Chains A and B, each alone.
Chain A
Amino acid sequence: MEYISSVGLRVLMLASKQSKAQGCTLAVCGLQPVVREIFTISRFDLVLQVFPTLHEALAALSAEALAAFGAA
Chain B
Amino acid sequence: MLVRFWGTRGSIPVAMTSAEVKRKLVAALVAAAGRGLDTPGKARAFVEEELAFSVSHTFGGNSSCVQIETGGSDYVLCDLGSGARVLGNDVLATGGPNGHRFHVFMSHLHWDHINGFPFFMPAYLSGNHVRIYGCHDALEEAFRRQNAPPSFPVDFSRMDARIEFIRLEPEHDYDIAGLRVRAKRQHHGGDSYGYRIERAGEVVVYSTDSEHKQDDPKEVEAFVEFFREADLVIFDAQYSLADAISVKEDWGHSSNVVGVEMCQLARAKRLCLYHHEPIFDDERIAALLAETRRLEEITRGDHRVEIHAAYDGLELTL
Q: Give chain A's interface residues, CB within 8 Å of chain B.
A: 3, 5-7, 9-10, 13, 34, 37-38, 40-44, 46-47
Complex contact B245–A41 (CB within 8 A): no
Chain B residues, Cβ within 8 Å of A9:
241-242, 245, 257
Complex contact B298–A42 (CB within 8 A): no
Say yes or no for B256: interface residue by CB 8 A criterion: yes
Stretch of B108-116, B176-184, B288-296 that contacts chain A: B288-296
Contact A43 B242, CB 8 Å, known A6-B257, A7-B214, A10-B214: yes
Chain B residue nearest to A13 (CB atoms) is B245
Complex contact A41–B214 (CB within 8 A): no
Q: Which of B220-272 contact A (CB under 8 A)?
A: 240-243, 245-246, 255-258, 261
Contact A42 B294, CB 8 Å, known A3-B299, A6-B261: no
Complex contact A41–B258 (CB within 8 A): no
Chain A residues, Cβ within 8 Å of B241:
6, 9, 42-44
Chain A residue nearest to B220 (CB atoms) is A7
Query: What distance in Å separates the Cβ of B285 from its nearest Cβ neighbour in chain A?
Result: 14
**How many residues from B make CB contacts under 8 Å with A?**
19
- Residue pairs across A and B with CB atoms within 8 Å: the count is 49
Q: State in angstroms the CA–CA spacing of A5 and B299 once bound together.
A: 9
Q: List 30 A-B contacts (CB under 8 A).
A: A3-B299, A5-B261, A6-B241, A6-B257, A6-B258, A7-B214, A9-B242, A9-B257, A10-B214, A10-B215, A10-B245, A13-B242, A13-B246, A34-B298, A34-B299, A37-B295, A38-B295, A38-B298, A38-B299, A41-B256, A41-B257, A41-B292, A42-B255, A42-B257, A43-B240, A43-B242, A44-B242, A46-B242, A47-B242, A47-B246
Chain A residue nearest to B240 (CB atoms) is A43
Chain B residues, Cβ within 8 Å of A5:
261
Chain B residues, Cβ within 8 Å of A13:
242, 245-246
Query: What distance in Å separates the Cβ of A10 from its nearest Cβ neighbour in chain B?
Result: 5
Query: What distance in Å separates the Cβ of B107 from its nearest Cβ neighbour in chain A?
Result: 22
Complex contact A41–B261 (CB within 8 A): no
Most buried by B among A38, A41, A47: A41
